[in-house]
Amino acid sequence: MASQGRNGNGNGYAADDDPIRVGDLVIVEADRGKDLGKVVNDTITLGEVEVFWAGQQRFGSGQSPPTSPGGADGGGGGKKEIAPKMIYGKAGAGDAQLLVAKMQDELKALALCQTKVRAKKLPMEVVDAEYQWDRRKLTFYFVAEKRIDFRELVRELFRLYKTRIWMASLQGANSFEV
């Protein structure tokens, strides 16, 4: 398994030695915080991940392998690194209720953002909103014909939600953070 258990032993077990299996909901390391994920493979090795990413590049999927900032050589070229994420443990029974509340809050955030976009007459369509599990980040997914200056929108959303706002374009590799 590519991720370490919260006890740091790297064997995919939570601290209580309860094995993590396919289908389990787990709390995982995310962008400057924690997120909720579902285990889809509990036997993958680092070598298999490297082969998968090499195949993705060769067949032109448009995705690139995960890298450390600047790549392994620090300069953007050279060998790419795969950065496994920490598994903190299985999601608890109460986390299902938190998931429902999170989804409801995402729908409210989406509707509010769409209203603000219309009011500002921005040439974009906001199609989804997603909170990171720990609510340290709120991502809005959008479609637009061209690059848009949405800095004022992001400032307004930050004032309302008091969390990091990320605008992600669904047109390709362009995603914008403010």
Q: Which range of residues forms the domain containing residue 30?
A: 25-90
- Judge whether 12 lies within some domain: no
Q: Are residues 54 and 122 in the same domain?
A: no
- The H-assigned helical ranges of the chain are 46-58, 95-120, 151-161
**37-43 contacts at long range (C-beta below 8 A, 24 or more positions apart):** 42/1, 42/12, 43/1
pTM (2 decimals)? 0.67
Task: Give pLDDT, residue 140.
Answer: 98
Distances (CA, A) of 81 to 53, 65, 66, 77, 122: 11, 8, 7, 11, 38
pLDDT, tens digit, for every residue of 132-144?
Answer: 999 999 999 999 9
- Same domain? For 105 and 162 the reply is yes
53-111 pLDDT, tens digit each: 777 666 554 444 444 333 333 444 445 565 667 889 999 988 888 989 999 999 999 99
CA-CA distance, 129 to 152, in Å (whole number)? 18
**What's the pLDDT score for residue 54?**
78
Q: 163 in a domain, yes or no?
A: yes
Domain count along the chain: 2
Q: How far is Cα of residue 70 from the mean position of the Cα atoms in its chain?
A: 20
pLDDT at 178 exceeding the cut of 90? no
